[in-house]
């Protein structure tokens, strides 16, 4: 019948009128990014890391700059781990290269900074800080 489509369209808009909105009011509300989202800074797990340097070698842009040191038990540990996010192209090769799954994306999408230097993230310091906070909260 002619004009059936009109009624169908009106039915759809009427349903939408009372339906749920999909808007997310950004500064107040934020979305949780999907599990395969590549973005934000690298999140380092210092306990898992064996300081092999494979991530740094996998990187096509030399974004990850790490130095290592040997501790008392003759074990190689990270001495520094700088992630130059300004050069990163979010190809995910470093995360794939890691044998112990010690790095992953923190999925933060608010990446803009006021100064170029702030793009260089000291992932080790962040990881240690997080560990300290965790230890402190579990102690008391």
Which segment (6-14, 74-82, 92-100, 102-110) binds another protein by CB under 8 A? 6-14
Residue with tokens 């700059």: 65
Q: State yes or no: residue 75 binds another protein (CB under 8 A).
A: no
Q: Which of 1, 4, 20, 72 binds another protein (CB under 8 A)?
A: 20
Q: State yes or no: residue 35 binds another protein (CB under 8 A).
A: no
In contact, 22 and 35? CB cutoff 8 Å: no
Phi, psi of 6, deg, nearest 5: -60, -45
Residue with tokens 């008391």: 140
The site for another protein, by CB under 8 A, has a size of 15
| CA separation, residue 68 to residues 18, 26, 82 (Å) | 59, 40, 12
Q: Which of 4, 13, 32, 71 binds another protein (CB under 8 A)?
A: 13
Positions that interact with another protein (CB under 8 A): 6, 9-10, 12-14, 16-23, 25
């Amino acid at each position: 019948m002619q004009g059936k489509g009109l009624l169908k369209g009106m039915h759809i808009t009427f349903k939408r009128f009372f339906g749920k909105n999909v808007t997310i009011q950004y500064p107040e509300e934020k979305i949780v990014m999907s599990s395969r989202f590549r973005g934000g800074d690298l999140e380092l797990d210092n306990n898992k890391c064996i300081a092999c340097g494979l991530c740094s070698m996998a990187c096509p842009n030399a974004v990850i700059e790490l130095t290592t040191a040997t501790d008392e038990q003759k074990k190689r540990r990270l001495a520094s781990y700088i992630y130059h996010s300004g050069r990163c192209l979010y190809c995910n090769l470093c995360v794939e290269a890691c044998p112990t799954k010690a790095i992953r994306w923190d999925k933060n999408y608010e990446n803009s900074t006021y100064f170029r230097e702030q793009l260089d993230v000291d992932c080790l310091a962040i990881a240690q800080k997080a560990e300290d906070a965790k230890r402190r909260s579990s102690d008391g």
